[in-house]
Structure 1
Amino acid sequence: MSYPISPPTVSFSSIIFTTTAYLLKYQLTRQYSNARMALAPSAPAHRVVDVISYLAAHPTVELSVSDIARGTGLNRTTCQSILLSLEPRGWVQRRSDLRYALGAGMIPLGEAALAGLQVVDELRAELDTLVAAVGLEALASVVSGDEIVVVAHARLAGVLSQTVRLGQTIPFVPPFGIAHLLHAPDGTIDAWLDRARVKFEPDERRAYRESIRFAEDRGYVVVLDVEARRRFEQAVSELADRPASHAARRRRDELVARLHREERSFGPWTGSESAEVSQISAAVYGHDGHPVAAIGVHAQPHQIDPSRISEHATSVLEAADRVTARIHGRNPAMSARRPTRHV
């Protein structure tokens, strides 16, 4: 059966979210140190990023200065000053009624950000094929710093996504991002575990490592749906709309801490017909055999039909393998693997 797929579109939202993720946010927030001192992130630069991110979160709406001030938590004078600085470069455009939207000057920045990520083009091309094969929403992500960024997204025509957005970020901390850890170096996994918002006991660290090994053997990751995860995704969506919202950030961080010990949220899935599965993902590998991206299907707000999990997992694995091959990567799994249903 074939499904109509939404035609590809290039929006200011997708461009600026990717640009923000790769050119601004992580470079501005990274702390540099030398033998004498450590530099702190620039507060004025953060405010510029907040304004741009807020405009990007509302690509079809023209916003007044007051709207932007309320949404970012900045004062009106600061917002006005930032907008006046961005306008001459075409990063924002001002309407006759003094309302603002993103400008065409952002397009070259988005293209420049993507130019260094060949894998993104390949992921985009593969997602439409994956959507047609499984009839579910598909997405791809990469790790940037301590966060996971959605870099490609596709869905059936007429289906509106409530929780997944291009450029959306979530913390790269347990239990999130296991697909990005398959066959990763031990140091990468240790760093991920160390970033947990709660201190893990040795047996908890072992449990996570066992889950990663289980997924490596199977070749893909299954995410089981729990109520806390649903609320977490709602908080992430709200944070994308209101990047300066302290309440949304606090809810997100509280839910991250809770999910650390929600063992059902990261598996391993054993093939139970009663399991509520919301995501299936697999790693895309680089030339060194380490993950460079993850690709998968997402069923929120509904669940994946348990009887079709193995079928969908096969489609996800094949999509990941095709992207790995096209970027001349190397899948470290020594033998061909296909998902099997566990009973």
Structure 2
Amino acid sequence: MGGRASPPTQRVVDVLDFLARHPHDRFGVSELARRVGQSKPTCLGIVITLAESGYLVRDPADKTYRLGPSLISLGHVAQESMRIGPPARDQLRRLSSKFGTTAALAAVVDDRITLLELVGPPGADVGVQVGQSYPFAPPVGLMFVLWDDDALRDWLAREPTVPLRTDTERRDRVVADCRRTGYLVERLTPGGRRLYALMAGVSATLPDELRVLLGELVSDIGERVYLRSADDETRHDISVISAPVFDHYRRQVMVVSMQVGKALTDNEIRERAQAVVMTADAVTEQLGGTKPDG
């Protein structure tokens, strides 16, 4: 991003980001200042101002702070500004309820993949939160560029998040298959699943040590993609099924995803994938969008 950074503003952001990462905990000023690397007087001034505005809540008994109710309305406004309204949430709820799993809506915001909405079964611990973001660079983000040649080309030209080997033939097959079916099915190893947890909140430029570690988990674009070969009863370990949402320019702007996390047959995969596509198409219609031809 261009322009000059504002250190005072960054200190406020640091406090809010830290508390957002610990939504069930409360912190006194001394501990909070230590955890975010600020002096106690500076941190005190920030939390007092935020509490007066309702962005933090102060417990009068132990003088600790936690996130406040003003952030709820602010978050709702942010979602609405990205056109994530009640109709879209209703579509995710139907998908989640039908298969008893979590459904999500995500987009690329300021060059980061950002989770815009998440719906899951009551009491489910999905391990991620709305607003969580990831670097948008190979191999992370394939589902956001599969249906647009220019977007795919630009994404592939980015500096990879981890060292990659290139299997152009398989990548082309993945692109062709996903465009034909209208969905992407990812099959992750246990190590690959850890990738997204490790990537959450980090910058696109990773330390060399972390790049090597992640490179051991995922080393090729498309290698985690499930490609159907035959109708049989073989079960395949599936992680996520995704489908694109388009705007009125027929550009992909979001992705609907459904968490699977278990072994499925080809027919079970297809049933869930078709439901994800129907959900994505409904959100596209609600946005006034249009699917590309072909």
TM-score range, shorter chain: 0.7 to 0.9
- What amino acid sits opposite 2:289 in the alignment? G
In structure 1, the residue matched to 2:51 is: 87
The structural deviation recorded for 1:281 is 0.5
Please state whether the residue corresponding to 1:130 is helix, strand or coil: helix
The structural deviation recorded for 1:126 is 0.8
**Counterpart-to-counterpart distance in 2, 1:270 and 1:59:** 41
**Counterpart-to-counterpart distance in 2, 1:317 and 1:147:** 23
The structural deviation recorded for 1:209 is 5.0
Please state whether the residue corresponding to 2:236 is helix, strand or coil: coil
Verify: 1:261 aligned to 2:222, yes or no. Answer: no
User: What does the per-residue CA deviation read over 1:90-123, in whole Å, with 9 as the maximum and x for residues that have no partner?
Assistant: 2212211220012223234223322322245443
**Counterpart-to-counterpart distance in 2, 1:304 and 1:75:** 51
The structural deviation recorded for 1:294 is 0.6
Q: Percent identity?
A: 27
Verify: 1:315 aligned to 2:278, yes or no. Answer: no
Please state whether the residue corresponding to 1:284 is helix, strand or coil: strand
- What amino acid sits opposite 1:68 in the alignment? L
Please state whether the residue corresponding to 1:118 is helix, strand or coil: coil
Give the aligned length.
Answer: 286
**Residue from 158, 173, 194 that aligns with 1:231:** 194
Report matched runs for 1:1-343 at 5 Å. Answer: 31-32=1-2, 39-96=3-60, 97-161=62-126, 163-186=127-150, 188-195=151-158, 196-197=160-161, 204=167, 208-236=171-199, 253-254=211-212, 256-258=214-216, 261-263=219-221, 265-271=223-229, 273-299=234-260, 302-307=261-266, 308-334=268-294
**Counterpart-to-counterpart distance in 2, 1:213 and 1:72:** 47
**Counterpart-to-counterpart distance in 2, 1:43 and 1:289:** 40
Please state whether the residue corresponding to 1:293 is helix, strand or coil: strand
User: What does the per-residue CA deviation read over 1:110-162, in whole Å, with 9 as the maximum and x for residues that have no partner?
Assistant: 2332232224544311111001222222111111021111111111223222x
Q: 1:209 to 1:264 in 2, by over 3 A?
A: closer
> For the Cα contact (< 8 Å) 1:224–1:269, is it kept in 2?
no
Structure 1, 212-221 or 269-278: larger mean CA deviation: 269-278
Q: Given the two structures, how large is their TM-score scaled by the length of structure 1?
A: 0.72
Please state whether the residue corresponding to 1:303 is helix, strand or coil: strand
The runs of 5 or more residues in structure 2 that have no matched partner are none
> For the Cα contact (< 8 Å) 1:174–1:260, is it kept in 2?
no
Q: 1:90 to 1:75 in 2, by over 3 A?
A: same
- What amino acid sits opposite 1:193 in the alignment? L
The runs of 5 or more residues in structure 1 that have no matched partner are 1-30, 33-38, 335-343
Q: Given the two structures, how large is their TM-score scaled by the length of structure 2?
A: 0.83
Q: 1:262 to 1:58 in 2, by over 3 A?
A: same
**Counterpart-to-counterpart distance in 1, 2:207 and 2:118:** 24
Please state whether the residue corresponding to 1:170 is helix, strand or coil: strand
**Counterpart-to-counterpart distance in 1, 2:43 and 2:209:** 26
Q: 1:233 to 1:74 in 2, by over 3 A?
A: farther
Q: 1:303 to 1:333 in 2, by over 3 A?
A: farther
CA RMSD of aligned residues (A): 3.0
**Counterpart-to-counterpart distance in 2, 1:327 and 1:185:** 22
Q: 1:74 to 1:326 in 2, by over 3 A?
A: same
> For the Cα contact (< 8 Å) 1:64–1:98, is it kept in 2?
yes
RCO (CA 8 Å, sep 6+): is it higher in 1 or 2? 1
> For the Cα contact (< 8 Å) 1:150–1:165, is it kept in 2?
yes
User: What does the per-residue CA deviation read over 1:4-57, in whole Å, with 9 as the maximum and x for residues that have no partner?
Assistant: xxxxxxxxxxxxxxxxxxxxxxxxxxx22xxxxxx3433433332221122123
The structural deviation recorded for 1:264 is 5.7
Q: 1:313 to 1:265 in 2, by over 3 A?
A: same
